[in-house]
Structure formats: structure tokens, C-alpha cells
Amino acid sequence: MLKTQGLGYWYQDKAQPLFQDINLEFDVGQSYAILGHSGTGKTTFLSLIAGLDKPKAGDILLDDRSLNQIGLTNYRRHEVSIVFQAYNLFTYMSPLNNLLTAMAITGTEHAGDKAFALKTLNDLGIGADLATRNVQHLSGGQQQRVAIARTMAGDAQLVVADEPTGNLDEDNTQAVIEQFQRIAHDRQKCVIIVTHEPDVAAQCDHQYRLENKQFTKLS
């Protein structure tokens, strides 16, 4: 579904790329974990896949169409859903309005469907009571679940997450990772997670390590 072709990226010095000549393939119905030491370029790689930045070398293809061809804004709106480590939500809204807003912007088939949004939140343990409070009054784990619910409510085939469990305790981490697995398996989406935690990575279907400018498949 998603392919990188000879992908390379550097910040200042072309002679010192973070990674180069990366050829990977990601498929729907699968979850992928990306491990690696700090500063190796995991987040940078994810930002390219998420359409937040353009590659310096090579290309990224979605169903054999280049992201440039699709248009980055268009790609972000319709094809990819992103979960960050923090600051995922509109702080001045309730979880419900966060979902409705994202659904309206991306124009999903359920856009405007309040009951659908409430049910999606409820599936992730955000009951009607929590769903209508301001998100700032929710715990970090609850907020992360709202962000995942937002991803589930959309139509995007690709879900990318950068250390989505970085701020969470063990219980919440387990709950969140289970949701990502459900997104991949039940919703038949492609989930790519960058993480430091081997436990989290181990639960994904595939693991890659970014090392020496290359991605190595661990399993």
C-alpha cells in the first residue's frame, strides 16, 4: 500500500544523511513498529510518511502514486491520520467536538454524525460524561485515547504515531497499544508506530530498527 523508493533525508549536510536509499513497504491490516536510538531520525522518517515534510531523495508512493502527485495537504486530509506524543487535541473543545471537528475537516463519510463520534469514544472507554467535558480535564491516557478515537473515526487507511505511549503509565500503554492493534486488524488499516519501548514494539506485527542510516527488519 505504502512504498518508499530510495528514500533519503538530511537536514544541513547532504554528506551526512539521517538515512538513505530506504526501500520499505507497508500494508493494510498490519502494524509496524520502528525502534532506534535517540536522534537517529525516526521522527523525521515518520514526518515524511505522514506528509508533513518532503523527502530530500527518493519518493514515497501511496498505491503507486507519489505523495507529490497527490498533494501533501490532500494526502494529510484524506489518506493519513497522525497521533503525536502530546498536543494532539484542540484544548478548547470537548472530546466529542475534537472528533466532530476532525471529521468535518477530513470530510469522512460519518462527518457530522454525533452518535457515531460518541460511540467511537465510548469504544475507547471515553463515556458520554467525559466526552462532553473540556479535554484539558482529562488525564494523559484519556487524552491519548481521544486522539486514537479521532483516528478511528476517520477514513484514512494509514495511521502513524510518534511515541504515542511516551507519556503513559503501563496500564494506559497497554490499553493504547491494544487499540492500535484493533485499528490494524479490525479496521484493516496500516499502522506505523515509532517507539522506544521494546514491549510496545513486540506487540506489533512487524519491527524495524533504524540504525546506521538503514532500516533493519527485526522480525
Partner 1 sequence: MNFFKRAWLNVWAKKGRSVLLILVSSAILMFVLAGLLIRSAAVKATAQAKADVGATVTLSANRQAAFKQMQNSSSSSSKSSRPKMTLTPVKLSDAAKIASLDNISSYNVTSSTSVNAKSYDTVATSSGLSGGGSGGPGGMKSSTSTGDTQIDGVTSTSLATAFSSKQSKITKGRGITTADKNTNHVVIEKDLASQNKLTVGDTITVKETAGSKDKVKLKIVGIYKASATSSSSAGPMSTDPANTMYTSYTLANTFKGSKYAGTADSVTFNVSNPAKISSVKAAGKKLINTSKYALSTDDSSYQTVKAAMSNVASFANKIVWLVAIAGTIILALIVILMIRERRFEIGVLLSLGEARWKIVAQFFTEMLMVIVVAVAIAGAGGQFVGNQLGSQLVSQSTTTTQTTSVTGQHGGSGTPGGGMKGGNGGPSNLGQNAGSKTAKTDLDVSVSAVNLAELGGFGLAITFLSIMIASGGILRLEPKKVLIS
Ligand X SMILES: Nc1ncnc2c1ncn2[C@@H]1O[C@H](COP(=O)(O)OP(=O)(O)OP(=O)(O)O)[C@@H](O)[C@H]1O
C-alpha separations of 188 from 28, 101, 135, 180, 210 in Å: 6, 24, 28, 11, 26
Question: Residue 155 is which amino acid?
Answer: D
Told to check if 165 binds ligand X by CB under 6 A, we report no
C-alpha separations of 152 from 64, 107, 212 in Å: 24, 14, 34
Instruction: Name residue, grid cell 486514537.
Output: 148
**Cα 215 from Cα 206, distance rounded (Å):** 12
Binding mask 124-153 for partner 1 (x = CB under 8 A): ----------x-------------------
Instruction: Name residue, grid cell 519491527.
Output: 207
Q: Which does 11 bind (CB under 5 to 8 A by kind): ligand X, Mg ion, partner 1, none?
A: ligand X
Nearer to ligand X, 156 or 210 (CB): 210
The two counts, helices (H) then strands (E), for the chain are 9, 11
Contacts of 125 (CB under 8 A, 6+ apart): 142, 145, 175
Told to check if 216 binds ligand X by CB under 6 A, we report no
**Cα 63 from Cα 124, distance rounded (Å):** 30
Give the nearest distance from C-beta 47 to ligand X in angstroms. 8
Contacts with Mg ion in 26-45 (CB under 5 A)? 43
Is the separation of the CB atoms in 96 and 117 below 8 Å?
yes
Give the nearest distance from C-beta 44 to Mg ion in angstroms. 8
| Span from 3-11, 85-93, 115-123, 196-204 in contact with partner 1 (CB under 8 A) | 85-93
Beta-strand pair 190-194/158-162: parallel
Give the nearest distance from C-beta 23 to ligand X in angstroms. 19
| Span from 15-23, 25-33, 95-103, 204-212 in contact with partner 1 (CB under 8 A) | 95-103
Give the nearest distance from C-beta 85 to ligand X in angstroms. 9
Give the nearest distance from C-beta 132 to partner 1 in angstroms. 13
User: Where along the sequence are the contacts to ligand X (CB under 6 A)?
Assistant: 11, 18, 36, 38-44
User: Where along the sequence are the contacts to partner 1 (CB under 8 A)?
Assistant: 43-44, 46-47, 50, 52-53, 73-78, 82, 84, 87-93, 97, 101-102, 104-106, 134, 162
